[in-house]
Structure 1
Amino acid sequence: MQPSSSPSKFDNMPGDIERRPSVEEALDHEPLEKGWWYKPHVLKLNFLMLAPFVTMAAWGFDISMTNSLQSLEAFNERFDHPSGARLGFYGASTQLGGAFTIFVAPFIIQKLGRRAMCLIGSSIIIGMSIMQTFALNFNMFVAAKLLLGFGSTGVQIAAPVLITELAHPRQRERITAMYNTTIYVGLIAGAWIAFGTQDIPGDRSWQIPTILQVVLPAYQVLTIFLCPESPRWLVAKGQEEKARKILVKYHGGGQETPLVRAEMEAIMAGIEADATRIRFNKTDISALLSHKGNLHRILIATVVAVGSQCTGSGLISAYLPQILDNVGMTSTREKTLINGIINIWTWIIGLGAGYVIPKLSKRSLFLFSTSGMILTFVVWTALSAVYTQQGGYSYGIGVVAMMFIYNAFYGMCWLPLVVAYPLELATTKQRGILFSWMFFCLSMSTFAVNYINPIGLENIGWRYYIITIVFTLLILCLIYFFFVETKGLSLEEVATVFDGRENYDAAVSAVHAVEVKQAGEPEEQHVERKDER
């Protein structure tokens, strides 16, 4: 089924032994009492997962700071008013630095674990934030942003993988969907801090936001090893008992419940069914790319990464000041105020979407959201064109209104699912490298649009939006033809959408047979599955 298979310890085991319930069936029979959110062991797990969970908030703070500093007079005077290609490279520097993480992060994540990459990346962010604060010139500031992007992307690759593989299965879809919305916590904090420091005289107006960038990474450095490691990574490393203890403690409340047993069985079966061995050599990469299911995964991850950055969101997140200049809103107060309000608006939309996403069809949500973004951008472009030709403050207000509507469509889907959806598609062994590839595509596409955006806005104004509309139409077509539905499926069952069920079902039977043999359990104690799907 997959490339580079190796002999399994479950080979030659009988496959006809009656199996335990699936994870979904075990959840159906798990007593809710007052609700899972009241259970102490789940609350403790969620609290410990705050360490990786704040990753996107830290990234959002950097994006907001990159945006807001352009509006601060002291920053522009200190660094000779960067513009055009110079400004574009400044805006894209973190993405360029992040693109090189793909050559390091997968090895650290697979060799040392998800937490180790979080620690290393957060430490780099702290060091580079200090370097930015005391930069002697613009080149030194941008160099710090390049290295900061390397560290930040490493954390962004590892943290959601850890959360996805560790979260309680009743919460997984909701938590992973809400994970990326925390980027707006950072965007909001960064925008309002810049708004508050704009009147401070001298370099402190931009140095204060810059040095505050160390707060969340410092929290991660101090707490990441208090968070449990991924049980799936532990099983892949042959440490089944450590994985079982984590699941018993945080998913079973200290007991080996039917849910815990079903999870362990599914995890072990999924890893055994997945024969992928991914290393950066010609044989393994060729074998990986020869598998149709893997190519499908890579295509979807690439479309999600590129679509999240190249469908207009980068214009608002990184170059809002230039857009507002083009419609007559030129004061620092107007720019920083609108930046702060629009971030709060988008965060509220993203939080609401993250909460209801487990009940929705993800593919349909992608189609609806992207169509709405296209229609909004058409109106946005028309209003910008009329303002350029005729003037009129009301048209500028109309453009701002379209930004809010656009961000509503973007926030309801692309914001929560840009991380959650690709993570669901990969197997445990693939997740690190597939997510690294996604972030490579994301970083390079963000670098491209952030470098090109200011040049396009400066040279052709509102006509530049037409290019964005055409590209978003292309993304919509790719979604329609290639995206798959994952609603209601466990991580291991999502893999069967791409790889088929035969190997997975055989591995489930074999894993269960081993556990029955080791435990000496009579077969009649096991509950028959409701369906064999």
Structure 2
Amino acid sequence: MYQIGNIYGITAIAVIGGGLFGFDISSMSAILPTEQYRCYFNQGPHGPPDCSGPRSDVQGGITASMPGGSFIGALASGFLTDIFGRKRAIQIGSVIWCIGSIIVCASQNIGMLVAGRFINGLSVGICSAQVPVYVSELAPPSKRGRVVGAQQWAITWGILIMFYISYGCSYLDGPKAWRVPWGLQMLPAVFLGFALFMLPESPRWLARHDHWEECHAVLTLVHGKGDPNTPFVRLELEEIRSMVEFERQNADVSFKELFRPRMLNRLHIGVFTQIWSQLTGMNVMMYYITYVFGMAGLSGDTNLIASSIQYVINVGMTVFALVYIDRWGRRGPLVIGAILMATWMYANAGLMASYGQPAPEGGLNHIAEQSWQITGAPARAVIACTYLFVASYAPTWGPVSWIYPPELFPLRVRGKAVAVTTASNWIFNFTANIALSYFVPPAFVNIQWKVYIIFGVFCTVMAVHSFFCFPETSGKTLEDVEEMFLVGIPAWKTRVEYQNVRRAEQDGKLGEKEIRHESPQRTGDAATKV
């Protein structure tokens, strides 16, 4: 079968798996406030047309069922990818997504809706964990950040496209208003499942399973433009061969290894990259933006259209990361992005506290979560700060949280390690009291504008944490990153090596450094090449 060898073509197909999560985010955001959804799943005292929908805690559970499934799916993906390969694991995820979407589309009650969303979550967990691993193992170092970051761009496109589909379907009568968009979200997964047959398997996974001829063929296809003897192909093959031999002789491969002293630091970095990305408050802006703008005085179509602007901003600003992230590196965007997001969160809290007031009993428009109201110029400032928050997240924590974890770990544990780090993302999205999807609706009712203070504090802490603990990985081969950790360079002393690696790819060598993996018994001396 014909195989696509262009790394951007490979990425464009693979990251559709990331787009599935985006479909879920915006469909919930657009469907939640509609009369059709609130009346079909109504648990409040009001009937049509003033249905209040599910109770706030139940709505939190409905929303949280997807990340709950994603936690299980992310953990399972570590086993799936090691056994079947990166590509096959993503295909399994696409099939599971279709099953979940059928159940969600056909939901007759809240229990069925929760079950379908949980199954969708299994798919999102698998794809969100393994798509970054897959493309990072295929990409050359100078393009790795760009192509892995495309997962976040796919998420933003999924958010934007599904929001407008859901908005258009809101004019349909009855349950069709939400059944149609939740049914249509199967189509990208169907395309992904079939298109993956035209993509190569990860060369590093092939090498680890002793498929050396296939590994060489994939490197030739993706990096050699059909010539198996190009310097960069030979360099990559030798580096992979040496790393595989070294790992086989010096380590057993299990989840236990992630918790050993030499691996624990990078596991902590990968886990907190994902945890902090959840605690920025971005999912509040995505899932519950209609509630936020409702408190700022917007309602009906005006609210939905104003909410959609942030999705356009999200797509547009992520482009900067795709173009410049390998030059910017990883540390800078994480630190600067966290500081900017904290600024906008504190600003919104101050505006709502100073100029807002409690909403009438039962909330605005009979929506309990809209329990605070602010009007006039301060309301417009809240909307502006919300847009600026999204613009700060989109080129920083959004893509980097997917790019960074796969770069931290050696080949022998990469699949399992990224599964654990991604699972930490989803468990923090789910767990009671701190899970964003379950916590936010009751929080809007109970502590109102103070929700912004909570996330502002999180953003402040993550800026400090990433500055002192997160080393730079941009411009290094995956094998070089492994050696950087062996040396133990302090995070704040690491630098971007984009220009060096660009020259390396063109010359077929890593700058002044030749391959130093002659012996699989290498120790600290070999590691000093970073």
Deviations 1:35-55 (A, max 9, x none): xxxxxx986443244331211
Match of 1:371 in 2: 339
Superposed CA deviations along residues 127-161 of structure 1, whole A, max 9, x for unmatched, are 11011111111110111101110122112212221
Equivalent of residue 290 in structure 1, options 257, 260, 278: 260
Question: How many residue pairs are counted as aligned between the two chains?
Answer: 468
Which residue pairs with 2:41 in the alignment? 79
- What letter matches 2:377 in structure 1? S
Structure 1 CA distance, aligned partners of 2:382 and 2:281? 13
- Map 1:132-531; keep pairs closer than 5 Å: 132-255=104-227, 256-274=229-247, 275-280=250-255, 285=256, 287-292=257-262, 294-329=263-298, 331-389=299-357, 391-447=374-430, 448-500=435-487, 508-510=517-519
Sequence identity percentage: 25
The answer to whether structure 1 residue 93 and structure 2 residue 65 are counterparts is yes
Query: Conserved in 2, the CA contact under 8 Å of 1:109 and 1:432?
Result: yes
In the TM superposition, residue 347 of structure 1 has moved relative to its aligned partner by 1.2
- Decide whether aligned partners of structure 1 residues 532 and 131 sit closer, same or farther in structure 2, where only a CA change above 3 A counts: closer
Distance in 2 between the 1:66 and 1:114 partners? 29
SS of equivalent to 1:343:
helix
Instruction: Check conservation: 2:338, 2:463, Cα contact below 8 A.
Output: yes
Change (3 A) 1:288 1:62: closer
Q: Any residues of structure 2 matched to 1:90-129 within 5 Å, and which?
A: 90-129=62-101
Highest RCO, 1 vs 2 (Cα 8 Å, sep ≥ 6): 1
Q: Which residue of 2 aligns with 1:4?
A: none
What value does the CA root-mean-square deviation take over the aligned residues?
2.3
Q: In the aligned structure 2, how far is the partner of 1:233 from the partner of 1:327?
A: 51
Contact 1:363 1:479 (C-alpha < 8 Å) held by counterparts: yes
- CA displacement at 1:181 relative to structure 2: 1.7
What per-residue deviation string (whole Å, max 9, x for no partner) do you get for residues 43-84 of structure 1?
A: 644324433121111210111112211021101111111131
Q: Measure, in 2, the Cα distance between the counterparts of 1:387 and 1:153.
A: 41
Deviates more, 1:102-111 or 1:306-315: 102-111
Whole-Å Cα distance in 2 between the matches of residues 357 and 45 of structure 1? 17
- Once residues 290 and 477 of structure 1 are traced to their aligned partners in structure 2, the CA distance between those partners, rounded to angstroms, is 25
Q: TM-score of the superposition, structure 1-length normalised? A: 0.84
Partner SS, residue 341 of structure 1: helix
Structure 1 residue 434: Cα displacement? 1.1
Contact 1:187 1:343 in 2 (8 A): yes
Distance, in Å, in 2 between the alignment partners of 1:471 and 1:424 is: 24
**Which runs of 5 or more residues in structure 2 are unaligned?**
43-52, 358-372, 489-512, 523-527
**Judging changes above 3 Å, is the alpha-carbon distance between structure 1 residues 240 and 507 closer, same or farther for their aligned structure 2 residues?**
farther
**2:375 and 2:308 mapped to 1: Cα distance?**
24
1:175-208 residue CA offsets vs partner (Å, 9 max, x unmatched): 1122222111100011111221222211111111
Q: CA shift at 1:500, angstroms? A: 3.3
- 1:66 maps to what in 2? 28
Q: By how many angstroms is 1:408 displaced?
A: 1.2
Equivalent pair of 1:89/1:451 in contact (CA under 8 Å): yes
Shift of 1:454: 0.8
Match of 2:494 in 1: none
The Cα shift of 1:343 comes to: 0.5
